[in-house]
Amino acid sequence: MKKMSAPQMSDAELVAGIKRMKQEKDIVVLAHFYVQDDIQDVADYIGDSYQLAKLATTTPQQTVCFCGVNFMGESAKILSPDKKIIMPDINAGCPMADMISSDEIERVKAQYDDLAVVAYVNTTAETKAHSDVCVTSSNCLQIVRSLPQKNIYFIPDVNLGSYIKSQLPEKNVILHDGFCCVHHKIRVAAVQEMIAAHPDYKILVHPEAQAEVVALGNVVGSTKVLLDEVKKNDAPGYIVCTEVGILHQMKKAAPGKEFLVPTRTQTCRSMKRNTLQKLYDAMHTLTPEIKMDEELMQQALRPLEKMMELAESKVSTL
């Protein structure tokens, strides 16, 4: 007999089901700023990767559904090992996080006596396990400045690393050649054209963009910093040099303002693998779940704890 496939649910039915399961199954839904609008609208919390991973430690729900890419689910699991962390698409990976290997880290470590390996939080647990401290785009300057080592191997993002290098000339920052394909491809000429056409608009730039684009920014910072700038609502419009998913929250923060995006490639395909249907299915089946080796979790926790210790000791400077 022919197998009947399940009838397709409408978006409204999926949203209703997701809301119902949050209550019935005691699940909190976390969504990164870069996932699609309909998921942001149904999430309990929206934020950047580290903000959300930290938040997962404090939510009362024992099951966390993390809508983002897989290193984010890993970070949430490392910080909340007793919670169940599920993801709509566990195969949604970050190309930048995959651009560094533990062999490469060990190769550089062997070349210096006085070296700190500083990993951007946008890295896999394996990479974190080989690093001394993690940083976010918000606290990287503060943390690198506070390290006793002169030699800093910053991984994996060459653009954020170059930004740190330019701001902290007292350090010998050794760069890796990884990059975020979304931010790296923002063309400086396209930004300049927009500035010429809209000289009174504010230029918001994420430091994962190339140095020439970063140099044009009125505000350079993490996704949250850029959103906070829009909340001030003190410009007629904004030229946004980061992933387009953030526009959803920016438009809510400053309705009626114009938001311009310089290049068409500012979309992260990995983030867009999260769909309402996959979110519904993950909550329905409580899979796929992030499972990690105990020892790896312990090793990857060390640089995250070091970051928290150093970040909380001073006020952020970026």
Q: How far is the CB of 96 from ligand SF4 (least distance, A)?
A: 5
Scanning 89-97, 212-220, 252-260, 278-286 for contacts with ligand SF4 by CB under 6 A, the matching segment is 89-97
CB closer to ligand SF4 out of 122 and 222 = 122
Alpha carbon separation from 238 to 47, 77, 205, 226, 293 (Å, rounded): 20, 36, 10, 10, 44
Q: How far is the CB of 223 from ligand SF4 (least distance, A)?
A: 9
Asked if 70 interacts with ligand SF4 (CB under 6 A), we say no
Q: How far is the CB of 242 from ligand SF4 (least distance, A)?
A: 8
Scanning 101-109, 196-204, 214-222, 263-271 for contacts with ligand SF4 by CB under 6 A, the matching segment is 263-271
Record the tokens describing residue 225, joined without a space: 């910093």
Q: Which residues contact 63 (CB under 8 A, 6 or more apart)?
A: 25, 26, 27, 28, 83, 84, 85, 86, 286
Asked if 69 interacts with ligand SF4 (CB under 6 A), we say yes
Asked if 95 interacts with ligand SF4 (CB under 6 A), we say yes
Q: How far is the CB of 250 from ligand SF4 (least distance, A)?
A: 16
Site for ligand SF4 in 104-163 (CB under 6 A): 122
Q: How far is the CB of 157 from ligand SF4 (least distance, A)?
A: 8
Separation of alpha carbons 221 and 208, rounded Å:
9
Asked if 268 interacts with ligand SF4 (CB under 6 A), we say yes
Given CA atoms 41, 47, 48, 51 in this order, what sign does their dihedral have? negative
- Beta strands of 172-279 (E only): which ranges? 172-175, 202-205, 219-220, 237-241, 258-260
Residue of 53, 173, 271, 279 that binds ligand SF4 (CB under 6 A): 271
CB closer to ligand SF4 out of 21 and 261 = 261
CB closer to ligand SF4 out of 63 and 222 = 222
Q: Which residues contact 110 (CB under 8 A, 6 or more apart)?
A: none
State the number of binding residues for ligand SF4 (CB under 6 A). Answer: 13
How much is the CA Rg of the chain, to the nearest whole Å? 20
Q: For residue 236, is the peptide bond before it cis, meaning its omega torsion is within 30 degrees of 0? A: no
Q: Any long-range contacts for 18-25 (C-beta under 8 Å, 24+ apart)?
A: 18/42, 18/276, 18/279, 18/280, 18/283, 21/280, 21/283, 21/284, 22/283, 25/63, 25/283, 25/286
CB closer to ligand SF4 out of 69 and 164 = 69
* DSSP β-ladder status, 237-241 and 202-205: parallel
Asked if 174 interacts with ligand SF4 (CB under 6 A), we say no
Q: How far is the CB of 182 from ligand SF4 (least distance, A)?
A: 4
Decide: 208 and 226 in contact? Cβ < 8 Å: no
Q: How far is the CB of 147 from ligand SF4 (least distance, A)?
A: 23
Q: How far is the CB of 229 from ligand SF4 (least distance, A)?
A: 19
Separation of alpha carbons 232 and 253, rounded Å:
9
Site for ligand SF4 in 194-233 (CB under 6 A): none
In 3D, which of 34, 18, 30, 40 has the Cα closest to residue 61?
A: 30
Asked if 243 interacts with ligand SF4 (CB under 6 A), we say yes
Q: How far is the CB of 155 from ligand SF4 (least distance, A)?
A: 13
CA 169 from chain centre, in angstroms, equals 26
Asked if 250 interacts with ligand SF4 (CB under 6 A), we say no
CB closer to ligand SF4 out of 59 and 265 = 265
Q: Which residues would be at the binding site for ligand SF4 (CB under 6 A)? A: 34, 69, 94-96, 122, 180-182, 243, 268, 270-271
